[in-house]
Amino acid sequence: MRAATPGNADPRAATARIVFLAAAIGLALQCLRALFPFVYGIYERGGVAPAAEVSAAVFAAPLLGVILPRGRAGTWPAVVAAVVGRIAIQVAHPAPLWLVAIAAACAVLAVTRGLDLAGPALAVGIALGIALDTATLTAFMTWDPVFRDGAIALTAAVVWSTAAVWGAARAGGGTGTMPRRTWALGPALSIGVVFLANPAAVASRASLGPAAAAGVTLAGCAIA
Is 94 within the bounds of a domain? Answer: yes
Average pLDDT, the chain: 81
Q: Mention every residue, 6+ apart, whose C-beta is less than 8 A from residue 44.
A: none
Is 59 within the bounds of a domain? Answer: yes
Number of structural domains (the chain) is: 1
Is 210 within the bounds of a domain? Answer: no
pTM of the predicted structure, to 2 decimals: 0.83
Amino acid at 74: G
Is 99 within the bounds of a domain? Answer: yes
Q: What is the pLDDT of residue 75?
A: 82
**Residue range(s) defining the domain that contains residue 49:** 11-121+142-180
Euclidean distance between CA atoms 139 and 118, whole angstroms: 28
Is 189 within the bounds of a domain? Answer: no
Is 224 within the bounds of a domain? Answer: no
Q: What is the pLDDT of residue 78?
A: 86
Q: Are 189 and 29 in contact (CB under 8 A)?
A: yes
Residues of the chain under the 70 pLDDT cut: 1-9, 65, 70-71, 116-120, 173-196, 224
Is 31 within the bounds of a domain? Answer: yes
Is 223 within the bounds of a domain? Answer: no
pLDDT in tens, 65-104: 677 776 677 788 889 999 999 999 999 978 899 999 999 9
